[in-house]
Copies of this chain bind each other. A is one copy, B any other.
Amino acid sequence: MAIVLGANQYGKAEIRLLRVSRGTPPTSPAPYTAGQHDITDLNVSITLTGDMAAAHLTGDNAAVLTTDAQKNTVFAFAGEHGVGQIEDFGLLLARHFVDTHPTVSRARVSITQYPWDRIGATGHSFARSGGEVRTATVTCDGTGTYEGTGTYEGTGAWAVSGLEDLTVLNSAGSEFWGFVKDRYTTLPETTDRILATAVSARWRHASADAGASAKHWGESYAEARRLLLEAFADTYSYSLQQTLYEMGRRVLAARPEIAEMRLALPNKHHYAVDLSGFGVDSDNEVFYASDRPYGLIEGTVTRDDAPPPGLAW
Contact = CB atoms under 8 A, between A and B. Distances in A.
How many copies of this chain?
4
A130 interface: yes
A42 to B, nearest CB: 9
Contacts of A222: none
A234 interface: yes
A18 to B, nearest CB: 4
A223 B10 CA distance: 27
Interface of A: 1-22, 26, 30-32, 34, 37, 39, 41, 45, 47, 52, 55-73, 75-76, 78-80, 100-101, 103, 116, 119-122, 124-131, 166-173, 175-180, 182-187, 191-192, 194, 229-230, 232-234, 236-239, 241-242, 244-245, 248-249, 252-253, 260, 266-267, 270, 273, 275, 277-282, 284-305
A264 B130 CA distance: 22
Report whether over half of chain A's contact residues are helix, strand or loop; otherwise say mixed: mixed
Given A173-B31, A303-B2, A298 B120 contact: no
Nearest to A83: B286
Nearest to A279: B183
